[in-house]
């Protein structure tokens, strides 16, 4: 089911396609069918960013991907 959702997201959603490409670790967890693990990984996407704003944007993108895919 998740693999089908990943394919639909890549085809129909430019935003989710971009986030899947930018966050391969989140995409890998989703591909394994683990939405909860994807959310945990996404929450850490901002680690190592040069500033707080960048960290928050990375985290937001990762969480949007994980939650969005979990909703498909």
Read off the tokens for 27: 């995409």
Q: Return all residues near 50 (Cβ < 8 A) that are at least 6 apart.
A: none
Q: Where are the domains of the chain?
A: 2-71
Which pLDDT score, from 0 to 100, does residue 22 have? 96
Report angle CA 70, 39, 4 to the nearest 5 degrees: 30
pLDDT of residue 17: 96
> d(Cα 70, Cα 9) in Å, to the nearest integer?
11
Burial classification of residue 45, based on how many CB atoms lie within 10 Å of its CB (0-12 exposed, 13-18 middle, 19 or more buried): buried
pLDDT in tens, 22-67: 999 999 999 999 999 999 999 999 999 999 999 999 999 999 999 9
- The per-residue pLDDT for 3 is 80
Whole-number Å distance between alpha carbons of 69 and 8: 10
Under the banding of pLDDT at 50, 70 and 90, the label for residue 1 is confident
């Amino acid at each position: 089911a998740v693999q089908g959702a990943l394919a639909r997201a890549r085809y129909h959603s430019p935003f989710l396609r971009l986030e899947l490409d930018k966050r391969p670790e989140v995409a890998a967890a989703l591909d394994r069918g683990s939405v909860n693990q994807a959310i945990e990984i996404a929450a850490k996407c901002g680690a190592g960013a040069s500033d707080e704003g960048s960290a928050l944007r990375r985290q937001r993108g990762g969480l949007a991907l994980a939650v969005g895919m979990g909703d498909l």
